[in-house]
Amino acid sequence: MSGITRWDVDVVIDMHARLGEGPLWDHRKRVLAWVDILARLVHFTDPETGVTTSIPAGTEVGALGLLGADAYLLAVRNGFAVFDGASIEVTDEVLTAAGQRMNDGAVDPVGRFIAGSITDDRTPSGALYARDTAGSVRELFGGVTVSNGLAWSADGARMYYVDSPLQTIEVMDYDVGSGTVSDRQTFVTIPEDAGIPDGLTIDAEGCLWLALWGGSAVRRYSPEGALVGEVELPVPRVTSCAFGGPDLDRLFITTASVGASPHDPPRALEGALFVVEPGCTGAESVVADVSP
């Protein structure tokens, strides 16, 4: 791929996460919050020192959102929860069938927490859910297999979404006032030999950054859907990315150590947290303020 920009990465800390995911810059505390889904841990990393505090969650946590002055909303195995810094309380159990769990999610431009489910058997029986600012939970749409990356345009009018087995980034109209979607369509198709689309984020220029599971990379796509940049990583299973740091000018990248073939030797740095300075910035994380 000629004519695209490439960047070098650095290691923030090698946690050897089984399934590192959900990076989120917490500007309130100046730390990167992220999770290890399979280890059932929530991590808080100081990017300047790599010092990390790990909190046992007691359940799988797929994603986090900032809540109020110092708390967090979580997408946990069966639904949504609140973490106040000391304990985790499940507030909404939305998944009751076996073989599903909540996965990736993000807070929308006005404070709703949007998160979707993943199915063990990879059938399209999952859904994308919204926890509204009043605290109620509703389904945005069904037919989901592996719900992953979410991001919104600067004006909130477009939502980008990844259901990984579709090998696409989708885009749809988003009504910020009602929190509803329409006109869902393909934005970018990912070739299968490039990896499986996973988590994503958006920068201040409207470009999307997409993590590629099995692809050893994060790709940058223009607002028109053209591939314009790529971050190559020394590990295969790249899971998600988010802008952070005091100036929001660093891209943090999570990875996983789980999923290797038993015939493959383990690679150094699998499951590490990486960072790159891409020469652009992201947006500050929205803080949800909803009923507990």
Q: What region does 134 belong to: left with phi over 0, alpha with psi -120 to 50, or beta?
A: alpha
Over residues 229-273, the pLDDT tens digits come to 999 999 999 999 999 999 999 999 999 999 766 666 667 899 999
**Among the residues of the chain, which ranges form H helices?**
none
All domains in the chain, ordered by first residue: 5-288 (2.120.10.30)
What would the mean pLDDT of 39-59 be, rounded to a whole number?
Answer: 95
Strand partners, 105: 115
The average pLDDT across 180-199 equals: 98
Measured between alpha carbons, how far is 168 from 17 in angstroms, rounded to an integer? Answer: 26
Work out the pLDDT band at 86, boundaries 50, 70, 90.
confident
DSSP 244: E
Q: Which whole number is the average pLDDT over 40-50?
A: 96
Nearest residue to 160 (alpha-carbon basis) of 228, 117, 104, 237: 104
pLDDT score recorded for residue 260:
66
pLDDT of residue 276: 98
Catalytic machinery residues: 198
Q: What are the tens digits of pLDDT across the range 129-174?
A: 999 988 899 999 999 999 999 999 999 999 999 999 999 999 999 9
pTM recorded for the entire structure = 0.95
Confidence of residue 2 (pLDDT cuts 50, 70, 90): low
Residue 3 DSSP class: S
